[in-house]
Amino acid sequence: MDSENLMVQESVRSLLSATANAALYSMGHPQVARLAESAYKGISAALGVSRQISLTVIEDELIINGEPPSFSLFLNRFAEVLKSRGIGYLKFIEGLSREEIIALIAGLAGQESGKATLSSSEHIRFGHVELMEGSGGDDSNVSGGGGAQRRIPLREMPAEELARFTEIYEALIKRRKMKVAGIADIVAGFIDAFGREGESRLVAASMRSDEKYAFTHSANVCILNLAQAMSLGIEGQMLHDIGIAAMLHDIGKLLIPVEILIKKDGLTPQESGIMKEHPMLGARHLLEVAGVPRLAVVTAYEHHMRYDLSGYPEAPEGWRLNLCSQITMISDFFDAMRTQRPNRNPKDLKTIAGMMLNMSGSDFNPLLVRNFLNILKRMVNAHHS
């Protein structure tokens, strides 16, 4: 990739972060000003190489100067923001000013006079507005077509997530193309909520249960994965990918006969064998879905292998488990033990902690178990303080 496109990508990252912060706080927030300046300098530097830069949204992906970059969560997220405003492409022209960048961020964040108002300027042009009936052609003015990109309060998140998650899973059940963007959006919402609500409240929020087990379990595992990863100092793209992997780790179960999934009595040896195929089925399916991080494929395949490789699928000699898979094993087990299931009552935290300590070194990585129990301890202490 050439240096110009790298500068553009980093500038888009700053634009997206500035828009998110402006939507959450205000245009006057110091973080917004810092990110806006970073975006301005990056785009100006790129314009010094090429006199104009075009960002085009094609099938939910962002194309830079006519070339598709390698998959990136933040580029796809910025494409979603543009699309939600009815913007098909965004063009920057040499001579761009700081004021124009600030106006762009304000419009994308919906901070201008309380409305998502966007208008072409001398050095920023919008065009090919696809989401608005009766819109103009090139460089037409745009008013918000999809509402501001808001940050979802924690208390409202379950309903929001459930609607997206159900749509994604129903598409898979009906053998339609699964869209990763919805999953990425859920994960981004969780990561944002960690910043607003803090680790303890999010981990506590993961201890919920309802009849939508597939959704609730995946969302809970995602939250617990993010808590573990962040406590290990993981951030940025890797953190997003770990969250996406958690949301998709059990996707193979949707390819298992439903009568086996909901059976209240113990499974027969044949049914148990079918159930144990879900990691392979999930990984195979994810390999065919565009935009899925390879980390999600690996995690779907490995999340039942166990730390000592005594689980399933059977691992070849010398197999090395991915860190994300090891984190997911812990989150998966903890949530399963905390959840009411047809054939099992939920267990209390003390009992689960004892079980996990006993399983350290065999089922789970001992260091990750210790880290996870420290997270739970912080949550309990915060709850009682």
| Residue 66 burial (10 A CB sphere; 0-12, 13-18, 19+) | exposed
Instruction: Report angle CA 303, 309, 313 to the nearest 5 degrees.
Output: 55
- Quick one: fold of 154-384? Hypothetical protein af1432 (1.10.3210)
Bridge partners of residue 118, in order along the sequence: 142
| Residue 33 burial (10 A CB sphere; 0-12, 13-18, 19+) | middle
Cα dihedral value 274, 279, 281, 284, nearest 10: -160
The mean pLDDT value for 194-221 works out to 65
Alpha helices, DSSP H, located in 50-179? 73-84, 98-109, 157-173
The mean pLDDT value for 103-111 works out to 84
Q: Considering the chain, what percentage of its residues have pLDDT values greater than 70?
A: 74
Distance of CA 289 to the CA centre of its chain: 16
Residues sharing a CB contact under 8 Å with residue 225, sequence separation 6 or more, in sequence order: 242, 243, 245, 246, 324, 327, 328, 331
Give 145-202 pLDDT, tens digit per residue: 333 333 444 444 444 444 555 555 555 555 555 667 678 878 888 888 777 766 666 6
Q: What is the mean pLDDT of the chain?
A: 78
Closest by CA position to 120, among listed 107, 134, 109 = 107
State how far the Cα of 89 lies from the Cα of 44, in Å rounded to an integer.
Answer: 18
What the block records as the tokens of 385 is: 């303080």
State how far the Cα of 18 lies from the Cα of 39, in Å rounded to an integer.
Answer: 9
- 352, pLDDT greater than 90: yes
- 207, pLDDT greater than 90: no
131 neighbors 89 (Cβ within 8 angstroms): no
Could you tell me the pLDDT band of residue 353, with boundaries at 50, 70 and 90?
very high
Could you tell me the pLDDT band of residue 298, with boundaries at 50, 70 and 90?
very high
Give 174-187 pLDDT, tens digit per residue: 555 566 767 887 88
For the chain, domain boundaries:
3-143, 154-384
pLDDT at 317 (0 to 100): 87
pLDDT at 300 (0 to 100): 96
State how far the Cα of 340 lies from the Cα of 208, in Å rounded to an integer.
Answer: 10
Closest by CA position to 308, among listed 363, 360, 370 = 363
* Percent composition of the chain: helix, strand, coil (DSSP 3-state, to 5): 60, 10, 35
Give 259-287 pLDDT, tens digit per residue: 887 777 788 999 999 999 999 999 998 88
pLDDT at 351 (0 to 100): 94
